[in-house]
Amino acid sequence: MSQTSHFSKSVMHLVLALIGLILVLLGSNTRFHLTNYPPDTLVTVNGYPITQSALRNAEKRIQSNSSDPMNPDDRELLLQRLIDDELMLQHAEDLDILTTDPGIRKLLVRSSIDSIIEDSRSIPISDEQLRTFYKDHKSVFQRPGRIRLKVASFSNPEMAQDAREIIKKEVPFELAIAETKTGELIDIPSSLLPEHVLRRYLGSELTAVALSLSENQISSPITFGEFTYLIYVLAKEPEQQLSFDDSRLQVTSEYRSRHRQNALTNALTHLSKHADIRVDQSFLYQLAEGSKKNDL
Residues 18 and 127 in one domain: yes
- CB neighbours of residue 60 within 10 Å: 10
User: What are 91-149's pLDDT values in tens digits?
Assistant: 664 444 444 455 555 665 666 666 666 666 667 889 999 999 999 999 888 888 899 99
Residues 229 and 150 in one domain: yes
Q: What is the pLDDT of residue 235?
A: 94
**Stretch (H or E) spanning 230:** strand 227-237
Local confidence band at 283 (pLDDT 50, 70, 90 cut-offs): low
Q: What is the pLDDT of residue 216?
A: 92
Of 274, 271, 284, nearest in space to 113 by CA: 271
User: What are 20-69's pLDDT values in tens digits?
Assistant: 433 333 333 444 444 467 778 888 877 778 888 888 888 887 776 666 67
What residues have CB less than 8 Å from 249, skipping those under 6 apart? Answer: none
- The letter for the amino acid at 278 is R
Say which CATH number the domain at 263 has: 1.10.4030
* β pairing state of 184-185 and 41-45: unpaired
User: For residues 149 and 236, is the Cβ–Cβ distance under 8 A?
Assistant: no
Residues 251 and 224 in one domain: no
Residues 269 and 172 in one domain: no
Residues 159 and 77 in one domain: no
* Last residue of one domain, picked from the residues 238, 259, 285: 238
Residues 29 and 89 in one domain: yes
Stretch 216-226: mean pLDDT: 92
Residues 73 and 164 in one domain: no
Say which CATH number the domain at 204 has: 3.10.50.40
The tally of domains found in the chain comes to 2
Confidence (pTM): 0.48
Return mean pLDDT, the chain: 76
Residues 158 and 11 in one domain: no
What residues make up the domain containing 264?
A: 3-136+244-295
